[in-house]
Amino acid sequence: MARITVFTPAYNRAHTIGRTYESLLAQTNKDFIWMIIDDGSTDNTKELIDEWKKRENGFLIEYYYKENGGMHTAHNLAYEKITTELNVCIDSDDAMPNYAIQIILDTWDKNTREDVAGIIALDSDFSGKVIGSNMPKGVDYATTSNLYAKYKATGDKKFIYRTDIIKSVPPYPEYKGEKLVPLGVKYQLVSLKYTMILLDRIVCLVDYQENGSSNTIKKQYFESPRGFAASKIIEMKYNITFFGRVKATVHYIMDCLIAKDKDLLKNSPKKILTVLLFPVGYILKKHMEKTYNK
């Protein structure tokens, strides 16, 4: 039985998902399942996957189609379907170095323990330049929160999770008409109880598309305000630094104002802070509206 599932949310990425597939074909260890969650694609993604499934790949390919709902809803479905011990998301415009599965499994076998939820490894661009910072030297384990707050890590990282643990926290909330809830919500909840192995190796090559979520963040504030507000509530509750909670509160206020949420104060876990920072959140909303409408 395969030990890890590589899951790939895809929406109209037939023009890029081929390199994801080719990188999986090149893995030195094929003890994995590739699961594609097709988030309502209207291109020929399904036809590509059907063709690849007919080949001798050395690994099982699973394909699931759903109505378009956004990245977080694809993650929700993936977590419902995954049965392997570990899982990792590799986006449909990204790839894995050929040693990635082997180094992930080796690292897990050598370093796992009961309080460990998974591995945090490095992303790089396709030239091999690490995204953000490397892992802190001399630190083998850290919670996700501490990695960024205490050790000052920067940039996107690749999260490999124990499936039973990532399933143990609530699924991403889904709001009608909205397509995004920041994925870090579940990671932060896992961080409350579990630590992570830090792997200072590149396991994912990323390519930020012009229409991808990383490059359309300002637009998404206005298209998915309730999703962002939900993520900020988690940060307001559990961010380990006061500055982090302040920042989350300001963004929560902005998101609720964009969503015209009359229960802004009622739903806030930090009511006094929300009252004090309301003018700042209002100013931020006005600033975002001004720059977004340009």
Tens digit of pLDDT for each residue in 140-151? 999 999 999 999
> Three-class SS of residue 273?
helix
CATH, range 4-209: 3.90.550.10
Task: Name the percent of the chain lying above pLDDT 90.
Answer: 93
Question: Is the pLDDT confidence value at 293 over 80?
Answer: no
For residue 23, pLDDT over 70 is answered with: yes
Report residue 20 as tokens. 């994801």
Local confidence band at 1 (pLDDT 50, 70, 90 cut-offs): confident
- Listed residue (167, 68, 162) closest to 113, CA to CA: 162
Q: Indicate the pLDDT class of residue 215, thresholds 50, 70 and 90.
A: very low
For the chain, what are the domain ranges? 4-209, 216-292
Would you call 165 exposed, middle or buried from its count of C-beta atoms within 10 A (0-12, 13-18, 19+)? middle
Q: How many whole angstroms from its chain centre is CA 13?
A: 18
pLDDT at 60 over 50: yes
pLDDT digits (tens, 9 = 90+) for 28-40: 999 999 999 999 9
Average pLDDT, the chain: 95
Is-above-0.75 flag for pTM? yes
Provide DSSP, the chain.
--SEEEEEEESS-TTTHHHHHHHHHT-S---EEEEEEEES--SSHHHHHHHHHTS--SSEEEEEEE----HHHHHHHHHHH--SSEEEE--TT-B--TTHHHHHHHHHHHH--TTEEEEEEEEE-TTSPBSS--PPTT--EE-HHHHHHTS---S-EEEEEEHHHHHHSPPPP--TT-----THHHHHHHHTT-EEEEEEEEEEE----TTSGGG-HHHHHHH-HHHHHHHHHHHHHH-SSHHHHHHHHHHHHHHHHHHT-TTTTTT-S-HHHHHHHHHHHHHHHHHHHHHHT-
